[in-house]
Structure 1
């Protein structure tokens, strides 16, 4: 039998994470993955035998007890809709009694006749819907990444530092940094500058002392 303390702990965890809404950005046209993305959205690209890339993100959410999940799509969205409906439509409704994985396609309106103009615009267009859930935080993921992460620790850190926005990132060496968006941080870990795939002098200017993030000196080099 479970102790009362254990039951109370599980209840606290669920309450903690039910105040978080998961949002996955379906990504762009996926030109670098062509021809895999000829008829698929990037998150619908197969991974292993039975999974797609999107399943990694949903798994990370569910293992962090976050069960309210929206997926924003625009390019080749039919493939992603099919993947999600087959995998989650029949069983997500009962997850923690109120879980869901729902696709939100790009849409036009009289007030805004354009399609999504980028990832930030996609989130802002559906902000009215996200706010209906009365949650404390939005946890936004890029749909074309491959990693494992405990979001409970991430959310806890965000709340403890009492910041408006917390960004999860990886340190990158100079050789590979030119193909990524880079953030420069100050001595307190605050983001003070952003550069998209910088090269040359602009790349050198983005260097930062990442030891303040708890990374040892040898690895920081």
Structure 2
């Protein structure tokens, strides 16, 4: 079944500089997550699970790998109207500029959306981790006779300064909105939240960057070329003119905006009962790869997630996510690490004696580290990330907030120590 009243618009974001170097060669939605998925799989899967199967993904930076992933992943029946299409910024008669902001990206792409019949536009971010029933969001939007609905999430004072914060009346109609308020302004922006949220100090309603717009209103708002961003302009300017309603969400949600938040979100998947639960009926869809089972010999595993196609001879792996086609050599110890894995296998002919092979070599100690795709770490290497390390960048790695990020295709020589 396809929800014919809704079309989904997934915003790929800008340059993704806060996730650099993971975004050096790929767009933010294409960043690998949880060992086998891409970030864009999360909003797409939420849509599919909600029977919303007409989706556009808007992007303009490093979009080749995102294009390839979507082309290889999301195939629907020839007799279905379902699709997932990538729209990159393009020059037209109306505009010769790149996307200037979230609203400008939607404006420049409107001629594609309007080829379809729909009543509501569901606008999503391409870099968030959550599990939401969009049917309930659309249902509440219709029942409240709203023109705009904003999904909101209670946050604490520390996080509030990084989000758009809003206040509502008794009917959940949004009465005021401020984008990224200063700390001194927060006492005036507390909201009445549930007891569970109060106990965690989450007194502020933050916009999740998830919006529902009535079609006619979206068309009207997009006629003003001076408004380029939803959070900074469209929403603040609309709340006193158009009925804008808050849809309160208190499930798991995290904005994958920084290396630290990305690292924590991945390692959180190793918890006994992870907050973002991959082990239920709400599936996360991704590219179906024909890979062998993982082979593990002599390894002690604890709180570890291992994807398909791995060959592991490590001594110990703890609190780590090991991605597809990963190889870890004898007597190595891997802790608090997200290893994205490899895009391909090396052949036996390529695995020559003395060559640093793809993956982690023998007798290595790897801690507090993100390894991007196709990394080569030699034998007897020690990488011990943590807050004791200063932020730095080299050709092969970057250190940010204590997390060591080994760059894609990097080679770390035998005996290297950090």
If the TM-score is normalised by the length of the shorter chain, which range does it land in? 0.7 to 0.9
- The reply on whether 1:180 has 2:163 as its aligned counterpart is yes
- The reply on whether 1:36 has 2:22 as its aligned counterpart is yes
Work out the CA distance in 2 between the residues paired with 1:93 and 1:107: 28
Rate the CA distance shift 1:36–1:174 in 2: closer, same or farther, 3 A. Answer: same
Corresponding residue number in structure 2 for 1:85:
71
- Following TM superposition, by how much is the alpha carbon of 1:93 offset from its aligned partner in structure 2, in angstroms? 4.0
TM-score, normalising length from structure 2?
0.45
What does the per-residue CA deviation read over 1:156-212, in whole Å, with 9 as the maximum and x for residues that have no partner? 1111111101111101111221222222323332223332222232333322233xx
Partner of 2:154, secondary structure, is coil
- The reply on whether 1:24 has 2:10 as its aligned counterpart is yes
- The reply on whether 1:47 has 2:33 as its aligned counterpart is yes
Work out the CA distance in 2 between the residues paired with 1:129 and 1:49: 33
In proportion to residue count, which structure has more helix?
1
Could you tell me which runs of 5 or more consecutive residues in structure 2 were left unpaired when the two chains were aligned. Answer: 204-418
Partner of 2:115, secondary structure, is helix
Partner of 1:61, secondary structure, is helix
Question: Which has the higher mean CA deviation after the structures are superposed, 104-113 or 46-55?
Answer: 104-113
Corresponding residue number in structure 1 for 2:103:
120
With CA pairs under 8 Å and 6+ residues apart, which has the higher RCO, 1 or 2? 1
Corresponding residue number in structure 2 for 1:165:
148
- Following TM superposition, by how much is the alpha carbon of 1:82 offset from its aligned partner in structure 2, in angstroms? 1.4
In proportion to residue count, which structure has more strand?
2
Could you tell me which runs of 5 or more consecutive residues in structure 1 were left unpaired when the two chains were aligned. Answer: 1-13
Partner of 2:153, secondary structure, is coil
Work out the CA distance in 1 between the residues paired with 2:169 and 2:157: 19
Answer with 1 or 2: which has the greater Rg: 2
What does the per-residue CA deviation read over 1:39-63, in whole Å, with 9 as the maximum and x for residues that have no partner? 1111111012221010111111111
TM-score, normalising length from structure 1?
0.83
CA contact 2:4–2:117 (8 Å) conserved in 1:
no
Cα RMSD (Å): 1.9
Work out the CA distance in 2 between the residues paired with 1:206 and 1:112: 39
What does the per-residue CA deviation read over 1:126-146, in whole Å, with 9 as the maximum and x for residues that have no partner? 222212211111111011111
Work out the CA distance in 1 between the residues paired with 2:94 and 2:113: 19
Number of matched pairs: 200
- Following TM superposition, by how much is the alpha carbon of 1:86 offset from its aligned partner in structure 2, in angstroms? 1.4
- The reply on whether 1:132 has 2:115 as its aligned counterpart is yes
Work out the CA distance in 2 between the residues paired with 1:204 and 1:116: 35
